[in-house]
Amino acid sequence: MKIDILTLFPEMFEIFNYSMIGKAIEKNIVNITSHNIRDYTIDKHKKVDDSPYGGGAGMVMQVQPLADSIRDVKLRNGGKVIFLGPRGITFTQNVAKELCKEKELIFVCGHYEGIDERTYEYIDMEMSLGDFVLTGGEMACIPIVDSICRLIPGVLSCTESYTEESFYDGVLEYPHYTRPECFEDKKVPEVLISGHHENIRKWRRLQSLLITREKRQDLFQKLKLTKEDKKLLSDKHKIE
């Protein structure tokens, strides 16, 4: 996947040179390039913002550098242009699953009080992390790009690394344990050291359901429980 990011702070995206995404870049599975919006302004002082017409606090990003930067990157990247802003859809795991199918994407990071309204002519989609305010679009772009990239085949070591994670199929992830088997009188559940793979699978599914029901009722109410799910919940005392 090819990803281009338009930002006032391209150095912030050096974080992608590390960990699993960094390895994916080395393997040419993912290509992430950040572009400085200031490079496109016609202002000799590299100014990209101005006071809003009609008055008000704060500054607004100008349409010219934004429009020109988008047009330039579109010459080499034909993907959707996604603006990180409060009007957009809320980013979820399902959105990540859809976007990871794309071959190319362009992200635009806003700053200050927002962008000139005329910039929306060049934007295909607006996306938000949630109903809260950040200092800039970069803060939202980083987790969104990371979430999308890790779903691309070859980025993680195996598909189980993400198919069994929280939110992937609508439930929170089951508990994890590792050595030592006993720590301060707290033991690892016996089923996990039994070697019985089917029982382990059922135990993990049950734990995911129970944790989701307890911690995230909003998610649990949206679940379409299978016959097995219902049986696991009804027989939970036998399985636990």
Say yes or no: 70 and 168 in one domain: no
Say how many C-beta atoms besides its own lie within 10 A of residue 217's C-beta.
10
Listed in sequence order, the residues at least 6 apart from 38 whose beta carbon sits closer than 8 Å to its beta carbon are 8, 46, 48, 65
Question: Percentage of the chain with pLDDT > 70?
Answer: 95
pLDDT tens profile 171-191: 988 999 999 999 999 999 999
Domain assignment of residue 76, yes or no: yes
pTM: 0.83
15 and 72 share a domain? yes
In sequence order, what are the residues at sequence separation of 6 or more whose Cβ sits closer than 8 angstroms to the Cβ of residue 228?
202, 205
State the pLDDT at residue 160: 47
- Find all residues with CB under 8 Å of 106, minimum gap 6, and list them: 3, 4, 5, 6, 70, 73, 74, 77, 79, 80, 81, 82
Question: Are residues 45 and 122 both part of a single domain?
Answer: yes
Cα–Cα distance, 150 to 153 (Å, whole number): 8
Residue 169's pLDDT is 75
Q: What is the mean predicted confidence (pLDDT) over 115-144?
A: 95
116 and 11 belong to one structural domain = yes
Tally of domains within the chain: 2
Tell me 117's DSSP state.
G
Reply yes or no on whether the pLDDT at 54 is more than 70: yes
Q: Is 191 annotated as a binding residue?
A: no
**Residue 131 is assigned to a ligand binding site:** yes
State which of 149, 177, 211 marks the end of a domain.
149
Is residue 88 domain-shared with residue 124, that is, in the same domain? yes
The per-residue pLDDT for 159 is: 57
Residues 35, 63 within the same domain:
yes
Average pLDDT on 153-170 reads: 66
Q: Are residues 68 and 142 in the same domain?
A: yes
Q: How far is CA 189 from the centre of its chain?
A: 32
Average pLDDT of 178-205? 93
The encoded tokens of residue 139 equal: 């803060």
Sheet containing strand 125-128, edge to edge, reads 31-36, 2-7, 104-109, 80-90, 125-128
The verdict on whether residue 133 carries a ligand-binding annotation is yes
- The enclosing domain of 169 has a CATH number of 1.10.1270.20
- Asked if residue 105 belongs to a known ligand binding site, the reply is no
Residues 61 and 110 in one domain: yes
- Mean pLDDT of the residues in the chain: 92
130 is in an annotated binding site: yes
Confidence of residue 240 (pLDDT cuts 50, 70, 90): low
pLDDT tens string 3-48: 999 999 999 999 999 999 999 999 999 999 999 999 999 999 999 9
Cα gap 163→160, rounded to integer Å: 5
State which residues form the domain around 197.
Answer: 164-239
Does residue 164 register a pLDDT over 90?
no
Check whether 39 is labelled as a binding-site residue.
no
